[in-house]
Amino acid sequence: MNLSVHLKGFYRKAGRDGRLRRPHLSLYLALLVQSQGGGAFRVNRSEAMAWARIASRPTYHRCIWELDKWGYLYYLPSHDPASRSRVYIRPLAKEEAASEPTENATAMKLGFAST
């Protein structure tokens, strides 16, 4: 996906969402950079925390869970310290036109549980 189109969709949605705070925004952008423009990837937590300027693990985990819950991304944590968690950046550019079953089918194919 074109990064500028993705960012435009993100800011359109984020601008209407009063729940988002600075750590949410900076973490989302750090994850978007790690994903190289959207899609599924294995997250490097320490790198994402450094880029987002988040110093504590509880803040990082709270923000990533809330971003998942609020529909910005899908998050599949790995409880194995040797394996990284997976994140899928949801395409927000055409949020109004996207059908929910298609998004869920895509997430299921990538190994993410439906939320």
CB atoms inside a 10 Å sphere around CB 75: 20
Has residue 46 been placed in a domain? yes
Q: Tokens for 20?
A: 């988002």
Taking alpha carbons only, the member of 29, 36, 41, 38 closest to residue 87 is 41
What confidence score (pLDDT) does residue 96 get? 44
Which pLDDT score, from 0 to 100, does residue 115 have?
44
Catalogue the E-assigned strands of 12-83. 39-42, 73-76
pTM (predicted TM-score) = 0.77
| pLDDT score recorded for residue 20 | 93
Domain annotation covers residue 114: no
The number of folded domains in the chain is 1
pLDDT of the chain, 115 residues: tens digit per residue: 577 777 888 888 888 999 999 999 999 999 988 888 667 899 989 999 999 999 999 999 999 999 999 999 999 998 887 888 999 988 876 654 444 445 555 565 556 554 4
Residue 115 lies in a domain: no
User: Does 68 map to a domain?
Assistant: yes
CATH number, residue 61: 1.10.10.10
